[in-house]
Copies of this chain bind each other. A is one copy, B any other.
Amino acid sequence: MGRPKQFDPDAVVGKAMDVFWRKGYAATTPQDLVDELGIGKGSLYHAFGSKHALFERALERYRDTQAAALVELLDQPGPVLPLLRSALELLIETDLGESGRRGCLAVNTATELGGRDDASTELVRRMFERTEGAFKAAVERGQRTGEFAPDRDPAAVASLLLAALVGMRVIARAQGGRERLCRVADAALAML
């Protein structure tokens, strides 16, 4: 009932995710959103309420697409080491690729809003936790199949892998070259 929306809210949230990912939260203005989402300011605020609410939707979308994709990749069956390698390579290529060193939205949000925006901080914290969990499961699997030495604490290794991944994406934003990023990935895999 009532006039139907002239845009697809899901698609708009996806575009908003891209904008926030590229520019950050504070640096994204309502005008940026109007320009890049292709809908009027009225519709924007009518549909989403506020810039912050839209940002939360975008961050949830990031979790459900990007972060989830990484977890799914790690959960695949088969030898674990190639999985880890392709995960890290995927991120390196993403960071160096077309879309231009925007890094990771969760990481960017952690440093921009961490401790100052509870909802966003909590979303990011859980994404980190989930990713770490996937790493831990992968390491445990690798130990069971004899692929990795069984004497390392999987939780500790997983924490290190998460930190290395996060650090890699920050370094990518600071103009870190491919060699440097690959060195991080190689060293991380070599320690297993």
Question: Which residues of A pack against B, CB within 8 Å?
Answer: 23-24, 26-27, 100-101, 103, 106-108, 110-112, 114-116, 121-122, 124-125, 128, 132, 152-153, 155-157, 159-160, 162-168, 170-171, 173-176, 180, 183-184, 186-188, 190-191
Contacts and interface: CB of A to CB of B under 8 A. Distances in A.
A137 to B, nearest CB: 16
Contact of A107 (B26, B170, B183): B170
Which 4 pairs, one residue from A and one from B, show the smallest C-beta to C-beta distance? Answer: A163-B167, A114-B173, A166-B167, A167-B167
15 contacts: A103-B114, A111-B111, A111-B170, A125-B176, A152-B190, A153-B187, A155-B183, A156-B183, A159-B183, A160-B188, A163-B166, A164-B164, A166-B170, A167-B167, A167-B170
